[in-house]
Structure 1
Amino acid sequence: MDSHYGLQFGMDSTHKVLANIETVVDGKPEAIETALVVLLAEGHLLIEDVPGVGKTVLARALARSVSCSVRRIQFTPDLLPSDITGVSAYNQQAAEFEFKPGAVFANIVIGDEINRASPKTQSALLEAMEERQVTVDGTTYALGSPFTVIATQNPYEMEGTYALPEAQRDRFMARISMGYPDTAAELAMVRERDADNPLDRLDAVVSIEDVRSMIAAARAVYIAPAVEQYCVDLISATRADTALRLGASPRATLHLVRAAKARAAVHGRDYVLPDDVDALAPVVLPHRLIPMRGADTPEQTVRRILAETPVPAGAVEPS
């Protein structure tokens, strides 16, 4: 498959997925696109918002649009790490231990209310999210490809919740908020979902092989050295900013570049524009930053850094 055909094939497939999700998620095109970008960039997505705005619906709609394995984990205080990673159980007939895979062994893992589980259980996802493998009783088991975790959490309810540690937040490529729908979208939702749930009628529109081809097309997108430097400059600015106690990590730089390439592919380009970086920085960076007491929010700081950092002026297309 040549690069032009691969990109066109990827565009057709991404349009199918986006259109499919939009039939059940009303008035949130940016959130839908970001979710797909994260999938194609082989990252993980954290959806953080108040209850009832469609966090789980978006995650389930993306999972149902792709013909691949999906597992849903309802995080609760009594959830054990072995429920996620799996456990070695003794088989009396075979007289040996057998590994029973946990819920993380799927292409798309939906983690509902991830901050309701204990820190020990949350940490069971760390190795899986970063290295795409799990280690149980000294044996390492590889996860399938693609592998994406889509987690949801409520940022306001504090009772019975455990804040995600910095190491875990850093493993999420992007964090988005759904927000409330506008009046027209909410009215359409009331009329369309009065009798049934459209999510129940949602079918897969692309195969897992299609998704792998889309990921390969996104990976092959060209990013000019000047745009790479722009990404590094943005990350470096967070580390030097006096409003922040903790800046973005090198992992954030990699995630920003990969997400920008995936967004370019979704928009039908085989090269990254600074606009791709500008569009994604507000969802890729803030959740990794820790502000100084009394300073601006991380979101405000990222917007200011974007405004202050010089944009590349040279050619960004491949020669």
Structure 2
Amino acid sequence: MHANWPTYPREHGWQVFLATIGSFPEGTVFRPIDDIDRCTLFVAENYENRREDFHPRRLHVAAWHEDVLAADDLGLVTGVQALTERGHEERSRSTLRESILDQLEREEGVRPSSFNLDDLGFVHQGEFRRYHWRSLEDYDDDEQDADGNILYEAPRTWLGFSASEGMQMTPHGWRRLESLWIEELGEAPSFHPRVDPIVRLEMYDSALREYGAIIESKMRQICASSKHGQQLIADFIAFTENSNLFLASYIRTLRNEMRSGFAFVRNEFAHGVAAIPRPRTFALLGQMMRILDQLQAISETLRKHSRSALEGDLG
């Protein structure tokens, strides 16, 4: 993917997308902030809102168009629109124009009445060259006769959003999320030997606290940090980056997943008793399980690299 984003999609599938947004509290609004290669980047509202949209301290979700549209078709999310290729391009150009007008207003104190995208360009070898836009007629769209009858209906496989609202999970989405976990893990799901007995007692906040402690212990073991919470995540991410063994996109996605998981587990459940709906509990426990699996894989990669380096020195 040709994007410098703070996170990237983990896998394909509307189920993966639903589980990802299901780790956030019910009612969370996800606002689209970028769209590249049929993938959309969202920022979760009401988390570090004072920072700009792409700041790594914000909480983000990235998802493929087809997965979000599939979730919308099933009634699992709201605020989503299925667009033709031309409709998506028109929406993208309008969004770009508005962002330029916003920037000009911040710089000059007055908002221009309009902006012509044909005035955009770039400097190449000291020469300004205008950007050449493809004609909108080149993009696939519906075709009508003179009476307005549809002669050809273009596929609506491009993602769009209502201008007045972001995307949210519906009540049906939350119910479907719970059934997904039951389908995958069974009526008595297994997450971790220290966590499973607590889950069976339906002490979900305690189970999340225990999982958080397990993950923090593993992180300290790997990066030899004495920090806690978000500071520990910062130390761990710096350690993995400095190892030069992992892709930047992988590290960014892991950092975002760790930050969101810790933000919810530590901020919401670490210092008090809380009643958590079962669907969100499973989404968060699933997120913790994925993080721990990745930590174990990272630990094994570091161990193998260290062994190979040692054998090279001895050889």
Normalising by structure 2, report the TM-score. 0.28
Whose radius of gyration is greater, 1 or 2?
A: 2
Normalising by structure 1, report the TM-score. 0.28
